[in-house]
Homo-oligomer: A and B are copies of this chain.
Amino acid sequence: MKKTNSKTPTTRIQRQKRLVILEAALEVFSKHGFRGSTLDQIASEAGISKPNILYYYASKQEMHKELIERMMDKWLAPLEEMNAKGDPIAEISAYIKRKLEMARDYPRQSRLFNNEILQGAPHIIDLLEGELKILVDEKAKVIANWMKKGRLTKTDPYHLIFSIWATTQHYADFDVQVCAVLGEKSAINHRFKVAQKHLDLLFVRALEVE
């Protein structure tokens, strides 16, 4: 069989194996960051030997890069869905719901992103200053327009978006602290139900105009 470039897997088996490795890499990178993670940890987590890992991915960097790229698309989607023609309160409420569901369903992706930002975003700074800024500029304009029309209480649209990011991602990134403070009594489903209700009240009540 001819040598397969690790960047372009062809067979189903190869793709599957790369996914198993990526899954393990996500587990490790999201906890320790890029520099703090080792191939040994990833290999152990994946149940695959270290050289075999490097058969599918040319380097530690390549794994990390693919994880970051896969995550960024998913990360921008919820904001993209915010619709200028919808009801302002309903749109913001739905956006919060989507972001909170992502924190619940993809906490490791959130922590991977958090780690990347803490380290100064070396791999995605261009994306933040480019694609992300463009998207946020656009949505901030939509929100500002809603406010100008008197359909939302006036505040800074950018910082409003930051507040939504912060409050929702907190449940993924600071999960250990949230659990420690709430104690064992709070199962994950209950926790996110209460969080959802609280965040909805917080933002809707603050932004509603009577």
A residues adjacent to B (C-beta < 8 A): 30-37, 111, 114-115, 117-121, 125, 128-129, 132-133, 136, 153, 155-156, 158-160, 162-163, 165-167, 169-171, 173-174, 176-178, 180-183, 194-195, 197-199, 201-203, 205-206
Number of copies: 2
Q: How far is the CA of A160 from the CA of B178 in the complex (A)?
A: 12
Q: Is the CB of B36 within 8 A of A176?
A: no
Collect the chain B residues with CB atoms within 8 Å of residue A32's CB. Answer: 33, 35-36, 119
Extra 8 A-B pairs, beta carbons < 8 Å, given A162-B171, A162-B174: A30-B118, A31-B120, A33-B35, A33-B36, A111-B118, A155-B201, A159-B199, A201-B206
Given the interface pairs A156-B194, A201-B155, the reply to whether A177 lies near B36 with Cβ below 8 Å is: no
Q: How far is the CA of A206 from the CA of B95 in the complex (A)?
A: 18
